[in-house]
Structure 1
Amino acid sequence: MLYIIGLGLADERDISVKGLEIVKRAERVYLEAYTAVLLVDKDVLEAYYGRSIIIADRETVESQSDSILAGADTVDVAFLVVGDPFSATTHADLALRCRQNSPQIPTRTLPNASILTAVGATGLSLYSFGQTVSMVFYEENWRPDSWYPKVKENADLGLHTLILLDIKVKEPNLKALERGKYVFDPPRFMTAAQCAEQMLETEETRAASEEGKSTGVAGKERLAVAVARLGSEGEKIVAGTLEELAQQDLGKPLHSLVLCGWKMHEMEWEFVRDFAVDREKFDEIWKRDYAGKGVQ
């Protein structure tokens, strides 16, 4: 059987008791290491679990999944996922491959905490979130804004938007590839400040464009909440305008950002304002642009 086991968000102790029992008896143990990362290294997990762990990078999971599934119809294989197993479509794809395998491989999923639910620690109601979007690193000649229409759809409904930030783990260096060498770039993790900067840049670019596609949903005075290392002892939450958050250093990864929706309830405001960079400014903008506004 293939066990897809959620590890939670922080460290080696967040695995469930059921999950740990399976890891200890499994024939092989894999750790998916590209959609998200834990706050501890592989050797810490191995010491706590008492097992050797095989790192499964993007290429292994997406192109060489047969090596993971080999023999899983007769022995137990544990596939460890940071957060919750089905927070990323990659893991749903792996489960589908088990169904389509001949012979079919039985699967079992063990859920755990995910950023999709842990973000409730901000005080924003999970019932008031719209579709989640991803923000990738902007490059010199590549600044995709496919996230913008989704944020606009959420904003039109007055809903909050959770923005998941890009991580680059074991990414090949393109210039080295051109020379026939396979070299990996150092890992990179987008910060909440970088995300806010990119959102502001896109809003400005759209405002300056002839097509006039700017809607103001990512403007300087839009309220947002930045989070870092949720679920850990060192978690950090900071609220403010996008302009303010673009200047905030939340420390080590992983970071996420939430753009507040127009329907931000008074109880949410009372909770979130305690995290504000400038509480007076936060209150002023909330009362002006959010309080009782409902759907815009």
Structure 2
Amino acid sequence: VSAAAGLTGLQSYKFGRSTTVPLPDLKSIHPYEVLGENTERGLHTLLFLDVRCESRTYLSAPQAIQILLQLEEQERRGYFTGQRLVVVIARAGADNCVVRGDRAANLLKQDFGPVPHVLVVPGRLHFLEARALEVFAGVPEDVVRELEG
């Protein structure tokens, strides 16, 4: 959580529970439920993306976003629509680290390079967090404004 907070500029104390988005063959509503709980409380959510070391299978950020959009379509509670702000962190701590944020629908077709990736779904934003996301993750100003509170 501390690396995600530092790379995005989000306050670490405003992160709720973290969870893992599993690979598509292990269907689970759990990540959607955790995201919902955090969203209702205005908290940020750190989503780890599944890794299977033995088969060298890694879930990428676009795949995870697609899974979450499918869960939204199934559950229809409004926790993860295509309009939701998401920040992708690729290869945290590496020299070629990427931090990029935008609406979920806009991130689906982007290339974040090699895995591992994680997702951060911000909750309610303090104005300093909003500015930090613009600077550190390149989030468009109109997107962060919607979460300021």
Structures share a fold, TM > 0.5? yes
Equivalent-residue separation in structure 2 for 1:125 and 1:291 (angstroms) = 14
Residue in 2 aligned with 1:55?
A: none
1:1-296 matched pairs, under 5 angstroms: 116-120=1-5, 121-139=7-25, 142-170=26-54, 186-206=55-75, 214-261=76-123, 263-274=124-135, 275-276=137-138, 279=140, 283-287=141-145, 289-292=146-149
Q: Secondary structure at the match of 2:118?
A: strand
Kept after mapping to 2: 8 A contact 1:226/1:257: yes
Q: Secondary structure at the match of 2:23?
A: coil
Q: Which has the higher contact order (CA 8 A, sep 6+)?
A: 2
Equivalent-residue separation in structure 2 for 1:166 and 1:291 (angstroms) = 30
Equivalent-residue separation in structure 2 for 1:286 and 1:151 (angstroms) = 18
1:264 Cα deviation (Å)? 1.0
Q: Structure 2: state its 5+ residue gaps.
A: none
Structure 1 residues 108-162: Cα deviation after superposition (integer angstroms, max 9, x where no partner): xxxxxxxx211121111111100001110112xx521111111111001100000
Residue in 2 aligned with 1:180?
A: none
Q: Kindly report structure 1 stretches of 4+ aligned residues shifted beyond 6 Å.
A: none
- Letter matched to residue 103 of structure 2: T
- Letter matched to residue 36 of structure 2: K
Kept after mapping to 2: 8 A contact 1:264/1:290: yes
Larger Rg: 1
Equivalent-residue separation in structure 1 for 2:18 and 2:57 (angstroms) = 21
Aligned residues: 147
Give the aligned CA root-mean-square deviation in angstroms.
1.4
Equivalent-residue separation in structure 1 for 2:48 and 2:144 (angstroms) = 24
- Letter matched to residue 132 of structure 1: S
What is the percent sequence identity of the aligned residues? 28
Q: Structure 1: state its 5+ residue gaps.
A: 1-115, 171-185, 207-213
Kept after mapping to 2: 8 A contact 1:228/1:235: yes
TM-score by length of 1: 0.48
TM-score by length of 2: 0.92
